[in-house]
């Protein structure tokens, strides 16, 4: 995105929307806290474990709402600073691009690089949002190779944390690619709902103490219930999520040209992207424009 002069109505609108969502999340947290306190009083009066259990559940939901509020507040603040010319970059100038929601998610996880992916029933990436170039490159690498921490976390529905040489031992091609991006540790968490897993949160080079704590679980839960789903859902993350539409469009066109299956066409696009060291979207756009031949 090109730098823009002056305050952008769209950026102001996004900041206002984020503030409103933050306020509503804080209100929901207050209601859950009140419910927790009510059950705690009833537990003290009756000794029934039901009330103790319900109090814990309401406390957990309240904390999830507060985490979602903090993420929304962080995004609103970043967008307003950027709109006023105080974003990252030269003093008093606009940053090159509008702040990304995932940058606040990465900050909440104690790092600069984090990515979120939405996945289908077959665990294939449907959409991706990243905080910076390295995290986006890592997600493209996992998409091309169909192997990596996010895929494993979604399949097993549990957190995956790997660092150092163990990354390449577990996923050889992905591990070497991650090292080339300057990343040396990764934590991936499933975004779970009652029906299953809708995606993953992947955090790169996280502080080890945070990676082994429950902090990331809280962020993943807030993203799932407070950002991607629920009454204030915005799966597009204020325009920061990229649906891999161009790749699937190119796969369809290539399938028609070759007479092969969509799956084979998609595999060919991914293979060419890996060979050229480009993103799948770049290869797809070049193919669709006629610049690149894939057969």
How does pLDDT run across 21-37, given as a tens digit for each residue?
A: 999 999 999 999 999 99
Q: Is the pLDDT of residue 121 over 90?
A: no
User: What does the pLDDT average to over 3-11?
Assistant: 46
User: What does the pLDDT average to over 153-177?
Assistant: 95
Q: Is the pLDDT of residue 91 over 60?
A: no
In a domain, 145, yes or no: yes
Q: Same domain for 120 and 213?
A: yes
Least confident of 76-90, 106-120, 165-179: 76-90
Summary mean pLDDT of the chain:
85
Q: List, in order, residues 6 or more apart from 146 with CB less than 8 Å away.
A: 124, 270
pLDDT band at 103 (very low <50, low <70, confident <90, very high): very high
Residue 94: the pLDDT is: 43
In a domain, 95, yes or no: no
Q: Same domain for 131 and 234?
A: yes
User: What does the pLDDT average to over 43-50?
Assistant: 94
Are 124 and 257 a contacting pair, CB within 8 Å?
no
Can you give the residue range of the structural domain that contains 251? 245-288
Are 217 and 189 a contacting pair, CB within 8 Å?
yes
Domain count, the chain: 3
The larger pLDDT score, comparing residue 101 to residue 92, is at: 101
User: What does the pLDDT average to over 52-64?
Assistant: 95
Q: Is the pLDDT of residue 100 over 90?
A: yes
Are 98 and 34 a contacting pair, CB within 8 Å?
no
Q: Same domain for 123 and 159?
A: yes
Report the alpha-carbon distance of residue 168 to residue 188 in Å, rounded: 16
- Tokens 């057969």 belong to residue: 295
Q: Same domain for 239 and 106?
A: yes
The larger pLDDT score, comparing residue 268 to residue 189, is at: 189
Q: Which two tokens stand for residue 38?
A: 């009510």
Residue 17: the pLDDT is: 92
Q: Same domain for 237 and 250?
A: no
Q: Same domain for 54 and 25?
A: yes
Q: Same domain for 107 and 233?
A: yes
Report the alpha-carbon distance of residue 216 to residue 202 in Å, rounded: 9
Residue 248: the pLDDT is: 61
Q: Same domain for 143 and 30?
A: no
pLDDT band at 87 (very low <50, low <70, confident <90, very high): low
The larger pLDDT score, comparing residue 126 to residue 163, is at: 163
Strand boundaries in 28-85, DSSP class E: none
Residue 77: the pLDDT is: 93
Long-range contact set of residues 23-31: C-beta below 8 Å, sequence gap at least 24 = 23/69, 24/231, 24/232, 25/65, 25/66, 25/68, 25/69, 25/72, 25/226, 25/232, 26/65, 26/66, 26/69, 28/62, 28/65, 29/62, 29/63, 29/65, 29/66, 29/69, 30/62
How does pLDDT run across 245-262, given as a tens digit for each residue?
A: 666 666 677 777 777 776
CA 291 to chain CA mean position, Å: 31
Q: Same domain for 47 and 157?
A: no
Q: Is the pLDDT of residue 228 over 70?
A: yes
For 164-177, letters b (16+ CB in 10 Å) and e give eeebbeebeebbeb
Residue 96: the pLDDT is: 56
Report the alpha-carbon distance of residue 23 to residue 14 in Å, rounded: 14
Q: Which of 152, 171, 169 is nearest to 160 (CA)?
A: 152
Q: Is the pLDDT of residue 2 over 90?
A: no
Cα-based torsion angle of the residue sequence 31, 37, 41, 43 in order, rounded to the nearest 10 degrees:
100
Report the alpha-carbon distance of residue 269 to residue 228 in Å, rounded: 29
Q: Same domain for 202 and 253?
A: no
In a domain, 129, yes or no: yes
Q: Same domain for 254 and 239?
A: no
């Amino acid at each position: 995105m090109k730098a823009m002069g002056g305050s952008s109505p769209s950026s102001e609108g996004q900041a206002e929307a984020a503030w409103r969502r933050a306020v509503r999340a804080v209100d929901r947290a207050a209601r859950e806290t009140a419910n927790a306190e009510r059950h705690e009083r009833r537990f003290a009066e009756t000794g029934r474990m039901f009330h103790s259990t319900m109090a814990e559940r309401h406390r957990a939901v309240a904390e999830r709402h507060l985490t979602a509020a903090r993420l929304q507040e962080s995004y609103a603040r970043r967008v307003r600073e950027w709109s006023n010319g105080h974003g990252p970059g030269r003093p008093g100038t606009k940053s090159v691009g509008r702040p990304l929601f995932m940058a606040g998610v990465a900050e909440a996880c104690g790092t600069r690089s984090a990515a979120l992916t939405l996945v289908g029933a077959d665990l294939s990436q449907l959409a991706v949002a990243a905080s910076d170039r390295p995290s986006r490159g890592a997600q493209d690498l996992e998409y091309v190779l169909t192997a990596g921490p996010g895929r494993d976390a979604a399949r097993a529905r549990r957190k995956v944390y790997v660092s150092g040489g163990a990354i390449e031992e577990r996923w050889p091609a992905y591990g070497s690619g991650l090292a080339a991006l300057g990343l040396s540790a990764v934590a991936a968490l499933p975004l779970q709902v009652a029906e299953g897993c809708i995606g993953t949160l992947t955090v790169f080079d996280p502080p080890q103490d945070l990676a082994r704590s429950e902090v990331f679980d809280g962020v993943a839960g807030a993203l799932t219930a407070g950002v991607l789903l629920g009454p204030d859902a915005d799966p597009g993350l204020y325009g920061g999520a990229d649906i891999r539409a161009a790749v699937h469009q190119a796969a369809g066109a290539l399938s028609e040209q070759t007479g092969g299956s969509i799956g084979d066409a998609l595999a060919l696009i991914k293979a060419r992207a890996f060979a050229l060291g480009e993103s799948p979207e770049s290869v797809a756009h070049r193919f669709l424009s006629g610049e690149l031949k894939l057969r």
